[in-house]
Structure 1
Amino acid sequence: MQILMVAAENDAIKGAKVGGVADVVRDVPTALAQLGHDVDVIIPDYGNYAQNYESNVIATFQVPFCGHHEEVVLAQLFIQSGAQKVRQFVLSHPLFTSGGIGRVYLDDPSDRPFASDATKYALFCAAVSEALQAKHLIRPDVLHLHDWHSALITILSEYSRRYESLKTIHMVYTVHNLALQGIRPFHNDESSLEHWFPSLSYDGQVICDPRYFHCLNPMRAAINLADKVHLVSPTYALEVLHTSEHENGFFGGEGLERDLKQAQEQNKLSGILNGCDYDDETVAPITLSALLNQSKQAVKAWMAQSSELKTVHYLASEQIKNWLKKSDFKGPLVTSIGRLTDQKVLLLRKKMNDTDVFSDLLQSLANAGGKMILLGSGDVQIEFEFMQLMAKHDNFLFLNGYDQALSEYLYHLGDLFLMPSSFEPCGISQMLALKAGQPCLVHSVGGLKDTVKHLENGFCFDGESITEQQYNLIHVLKVALDVFNNQEDKWCKLTKQAKEERFSWHRSANLYVSELYQHRK
């Protein structure tokens, strides 16, 4: 079977990763290739990637866009990989590097959300469609689209005469995160469907946003137009069929629950868990001092990125110094790694009546002789709040950035991994922590519910309201700390079970083939 994957990110290419979708687009093709399939992957060229890899220009061609033609270059990158049946492609155009070389996503003002990125990915989708139409790319049996960035391909194949031959290709659409849908106006804006494709005749009832009828919703369009729709965990595939109730801490279909229910009724909706790579490499024992020294190096590197010293890096540096001086720390060490967004940390930030939840958790941890290290960046206000907590709590180290080596240290040295997401389509961090033998404390939603089992390989909490979820989070942390400090046999069993968990890409790839790829219209 010939498969073409279209996405915004791909961690097989250095510098083309922002989030978890890049891991999926890196790993799934290899797993499918190992089953005997031929897989091509294509993303925009954000960073002149041909300079980093041996490459070959396949074609230079014209793409109709915004009422004129844009010249786009298609190149294949030759990347060392164990999967010989996976080919990596990039499309180059000045628009794909408009935010600077290497920048994947752009930040638009709140009154024009997604505007720059939407135009960029509209051209990308048009270029992929043109490359397929002109046979610059091998015509696939399956065209697998990832998230809203590639969703316009379903619209072009359905409504454009130029690309109507693509309608006969079996199209699969994966929703990685319903919170980001790429909504833009239909017209009267430079970043709008009719500006990008002025001659396109379309059915607005099928592709409009259900809340803003004057706007295009790329994600809804792909859900309605694709042959198969894939959610990245079984539990998330059930949650999205229900209306979100943000005030009660439930994140469901985010306005698209009716379309997703219809997809389910049409037998075209599947929930297949993402996987994780498992290798036989033995990791050398990591000491706390080694972790802290790696943290110190990471903080220095972040400091060097600006001529102005950020207070958060200074405070982190001081906290690291203090921890290195003390030799009486015996744990537990709680770790957390991830983007700082309300999806990930709302339950830590929001006050529970008059209780500062995060402070309460850190105090409970201090009472048990423990410390916490959080590695992440994102929302500026969240970064500021966590910096203030670090200044207040001697047992909290906030590392405001990302460092791959440091993340590996945290996975392998931590005793308990904290992931209290309000929603989590799948999640990879908890899988990596489990793989390293670190039990996880998670909110039992989405992929977290499918991977972490209470008192088997970690600790879980839930709740019918935000307050109840917060209360249960505090309670379950105390349960975990009691097991760590007072029930050694039970803790050892938890860590053993965590390390033995397997969420293989091989299993997921088989389900891709049987549930997503086999059926036609």
Structure 2
Amino acid sequence: MHVLMVAAENDALPNAKVGGVADVLRDCPKALVEQGLTVDVVIPDYGFSALERIQLGTVEVPFAGSIHSVQVWQVYVGQQQVRQIVLSHSLFSQHNGDVYCNDDGDRPFATDATKFALFNASVCEALLQGVITRPDVLHLHDWHSACVAVLLKFDQRFASFSSLRTVYTVHNIALQGIRPFKGDDSSLEAWFPSLSYNGELLCDPRYPHCFNPMRSAINLVDKIHLVSPSYAQEVLQASQPHNGYFGGEGLEQDLKQASAKNKLVGILNGCEYNTDKQLASSQLSDLYAAIDQALFAWMAKEVNLQSSYYIAHQRLLKFSTQPMSGPLVTSVGRLTDQKALLLRQPYQNQQVLDQLCQKLAEQQGRMIILGSGDPLLENTFTAAMARNSNLLFLKGYGNNVGDLLYELGDLFLMPSSFEPCGISQMLAMRAGQPCLVHQVGGLKDTIADLENGFSFSGDTLQMQSEALLNCFEKALTLRQEQPNQWQQIVSNAKAARFTWSQVATDYLSKLYN
């Protein structure tokens, strides 16, 4: 069986990772190859000219009223179990090699939507002309590849692909790539002016005059994949953000219909368990040295010294010179409301994060949070660091720092408001660090309370905040007063396995066949 995966990210290639989808595109194809499949992965060429490559061909792509020449390359990285393909056009690499350009709120997704629409049209053209080999299964990932499904369905030039089996993975339903149908140079009719389409299948339920790529793919493909069984159930319900519930984000009715037709499948993502990649016998001094190096690297990028870096460096000096006798609580992830909504909730005239730091201080413990993202949240966490002498917030991302936090932490904090699958909790568990999580999505499917970690839930934001604080206190108390039970939880966390080989088996039986 031959599978072609189409995506925006792929961590098998340098600097082509922003989120967890890149890990999936790096690891899952290798597991499928080990099951005997042939797998090709295609993404835009964001600037991979330094990689060894051969040109497979050039395709002339009708797009936005003109013909665009797009080069198709096979690139070579490491062991070539999976064929890595990139498509080259100036539109794909114009943002200094960045995967996304993050337009402002006036025209959300506008630049990226046009870029990925051309990429999708180029994939279809390459398939039609045989420059990319026709697969048995076409596997699309997130909204960035959804126009492939639209073109194969509604453009008569691709009628020969009507029987091709198509699969669509939803990695993050909160990002749907919504654009107008017309009246904008970044709109469906501007990209494909001669396309005859069924607007009822493609429109956004909340904004009927807008094209919703994610909804389109959900309605057009053969199978829809959500990246954990629990999340596949959660998206069937409408979101209630005021109560802290995040479900289908407007697509719940389409997903319910798909579920009724047995088109919807929940399969948990996997994690690599290659022991060569895992650190061993590191010390806190190694962590502090890595943080020091990362902070100086981040500071060097700015002309003016940011308060977040100054306070963090002062806190690091304190941490590194004063011995720690209590637990180290860690957290690694992008700073978005998905990850941090509960931490910034008000609670007894403070924020939940302040309350956590105070409970931790009672046991002479410290908390280190690594991540960046929403500028308002970055400011919120910087202010919390200034208020709490046992909190170190690192505004940025450093691979080595993250790896050391996974290895050296005593308790990993991941109170996400929604989590389609999650990889951070798997990485922490792999290193033997129990996790404290909100019982949602993939966190619910990987963490069992008092078995291999700690979990909480609640029906409102207030109840969730209180449950988080109670769960945190329970975990700290158990570690202090019941060391044998704590060590059993640590052992169970480290022994847990969520393998890509199992994912590949499930893909074959539930998605591809």
- Given the two structures, how large is their TM-score scaled by the length of structure 1? 0.97
Partner SS state of residue 342, structure 2: helix
| 1:18 equivalent in alignment to 2:50 | no
SS in 2 for 1:349: coil
For 1:162 and 1:462, how far apart are their aligned partners in 2? 51
In the alignment, which residue of structure 1 is the partner of 2:439? 444
2:49 matched to 1:54?
Answer: no
Unaligned runs of 5+ in 2: none
Tell me the alpha carbon deviations over residues 222-280 of structure 1, each in whole angstroms, 9 at most, x when there is no partner.
00000000000000000000111111111111100010011111111100000000023
1:278-320 alpha-carbon deviations (Å, 9 max, x no partner): 0233632111111011100000111111222111111111111
Q: CA shift at 1:30, angstroms? A: 0.2
Give the residue type in structure 2 aligned to 1:361: L
Aligned position for 2:91: 95
Instruction: Output the CA distance in 1 between the equivalents of 2:470 and 2:12.
Output: 41
Residues 1:289 and 2:288 are matched in the alignment:
no
Matches within 5 A, 1:128-167: 128-167=123-162
CA deviations over 1:116-143 (Å, ceiling 9, x no partner): 1000000000000000011001100000
Gaps of 5+ in 1: none
- Could you tell which deviates more after superposition, 346-355 or 66-75? 346-355
Aligned to 2:321: 325
What is the identity, as a one-letter code, of the residue corresponding to 1:317?
A: H
Question: SS of 1:276's equivalent?
Answer: coil
Residue type of the partner of 1:323? Answer: F
Whole-angstrom CA distance in 2 between matches of 1:315 and 1:164: 60
Q: Which of 201, 204, 215 is the aligned partner of 1:220?
A: 215
Deviation per CA, 1:129-169: give whole Å up to 9, x if none: 00001100110000000000000111000000122222221
- Asked if residue 209 in structure 1 is aligned to residue 204 in structure 2, the reply is yes
Report the CA distance between 1:355 and its aligned residue: 3.6
- Would you say the 8 A contact 2:236–2:256 is kept in 1? yes
* 1:189-338 → structure 2 map (5 Å cutoff): 189-281=184-276, 283-327=279-323, 329-338=324-333
Identity of matched residues, %: 55
Give the SS at the match of 1:95. Answer: coil
**Offset at residue 353 of structure 1 (A):** 5.7
**How far, CA to CA, are the matches of 1:56 and 1:321 in structure 2?**
50
Which residue of 2 is the match for residue 375 of structure 1? 370
1:27 shift after superposition: 0.5
In 2: Cα distance, 1:85 partner to 1:129 partner: 24
Show CA shifts across 1:191-243 (max 9, x none): 00000000000000001000110000000000000000000000000000011
Shift of 1:352: 3.1
* Other structure's SS at 1:479 match: helix
SS in structure 1 opposite 2:85? strand
- 2:107 maps to what in 1? 112
C-alpha distance in 2 between matches for 1:392 and 1:166: 60
How is 1:334-373 mapped onto 2 (pairs within 5 angstroms)? 334-352=329-347, 354-373=349-368
Aligned counterparts of 1:517 and 1:60: Cα–Cα separation in 2:
29
CA RMSD of aligned residues (A): 0.9
| Alpha carbons 2:279, 2:403 under 8 Å: kept | no
Aligned to 1:479: 474
Q: Contact (CA 8 Å) 1:37, 1:85: kept in 2 or not?
A: no
> For 1:410-489, what aligned pairs fall within 5 Å after superposition?
410-489=405-484
**Cα shift readout 1:455-477 (whole Å, capped 9, x = no counterpart):** 01110000010100000000000
Shift of 1:368: 1.3
Deviation per CA, 1:482-519, whole angstroms, max 9, x where unpaired? 0111111011101100000000000011000100001x
Preserved contact between residue 427 and residue 447 of structure 1 (Cα < 8 Å):
yes
Work out which of the residue numbers 53, 66, 69 in structure 2 matches 1:68. 66
Secondary structure of 2:92's aligned partner: helix
Give me the whole-angstrom Cα distance separating, in 2, the residues matched to 1:494 and 1:449. 16
Residue from 395, 403, 409 that aligns with 2:398: 403
Q: Secondary structure at the match of 1:323?
A: helix
AA of the residue aligned to 1:91: L
1:288 maps to amino acid: L
